[in-house]
Structure 1
Amino acid sequence: MTPRLRPAVADDIDALAALNMAVWKAAYPGIVPQGFLDRLDIGRFLADWAFMLAEPGVLALVAVDEGGAVRGFIACGPPKPEVPGYAWEVYRIYVDPAAQRLGLGRALMGAAGRAMRDRGGQGAILWVFEANQAARRFYGRLGGREVRKQTFHIFDGMEMVEVAYGWPDLRVLAALD
């Protein structure tokens, strides 16, 4: 599959929300409580994407297949909270489970890296669940390095640990194809 990458637009919100929820249900069993996954509501994802696409400074790209269906996405913007040395945060990057291992994630990270570089600022960071070993290996293969950890209370009162991967030099991401 050769993805076509383009900016996400408001007309993509339904597809983005549906894919976001589907990937959570496929990727996170055993990582987040099953009860939380069972209660996921498409309305939450619709609201999140509507807010994100309306937010100034957010860069969102989609990977679409030959038929125009959204098969992956990435959304980036200013770090929340601010992280010294990193002007950008990758808020979300997900690929349809049926389209994984075809280069879409790498293509999305490369395109976002070029766009972040072109918009100015240095460095990108993203947060991933510590238990998500597959994603952590992927980010490591793309040149990301673990730069910090944080624990937070979420998901049915459970503590979760996130690991931040950082790319201090956006040229590393921009060089990905």
Structure 2
Amino acid sequence: MKNENKGDYKEKPVRQRGKLVRILILIIYLVFVVFLFYILSIIGINPFITILLLFCMSSIVLGSIFRKTKTKTIYSELYPDKKRNKNQRPPRKLELNIETDSEELVQKKLRNVDLNFRYRKSLINKCENCGMMITGYKKKCPTCGKDFELKEVIKKCKTCGMTIPKSIKKCPICGTRTL
């Protein structure tokens, strides 16, 4: 308890010193403003302009003097000090409990699907008549004029009815072999 009380007593004089320093700076600043107003009025500057000038200058200076010290700057919010925040962070859990029962249940419900299949319609075709390479969206060979039918490129699975490319030997959905 003695250590806690000593800490409390040390904090109060520091706060009072800070208030006294601010009051002294304010008094010195007010004396400076009055002196500056007197000099500007002797020079012959309009008093209204002088008051506006001193008001703007005093708002800047007084704002910086009476600024709250606990507010964080933008830099300190973006890049916090690790030493100060170390005590505030909750302790991390080193070990995580992994439930194997739920994983086994999920694996039993799923079935394996083979995803090694190509496009439904091949992107490049070869004309069987002349051997020219033709893009997949063409319906006719530009050289010999032979028509390409969709049946040559795509076939249907006998069990599930899925349309698959002719080059695939096994249906990716049901897994049956196709001829």
Relative to the length of structure 1, the TM-score reads 0.17
- Largest Rg, 1 or 2: 2
Relative to the length of structure 2, the TM-score reads 0.17
Q: Which has the higher helix share?
A: 2
